Amino acid sequence: MDAKRAEQIMRSPAIIGVKYRNNYVWIEDVDKGRNTAHVTYLEERNTLHVDIDQLEETGPVETLH
């Protein structure tokens, strides 16, 4: 994923699935200068900064589990 798409997902009114290392995350913030994103694991609620290119878009989500 690139920074522009990460920002689009973050600002989207739709829920779009994103995974980091096979775990779903919520994009909290994007730092284009460093090409990183602040994300929260949905299941564990842990937050971390990751390289945007390691994020994987999985598509629209109907409901959160």
Average of per-residue pLDDT values in the chain: 93
pTM: 0.88
- Domain map (residue ranges) of the chain: 3-60
Contacts of 39 (CB under 8 A, 6+ apart): 18, 20, 25, 26, 27, 28, 47, 48, 49, 50, 55
> What CATH class is the domain 3-60?
mainly beta
* Model confidence pLDDT, tens digit, residues 22-32: 999 999 999 99
* Model confidence pLDDT, tens digit, residues 36-49: 999 999 888 899 99
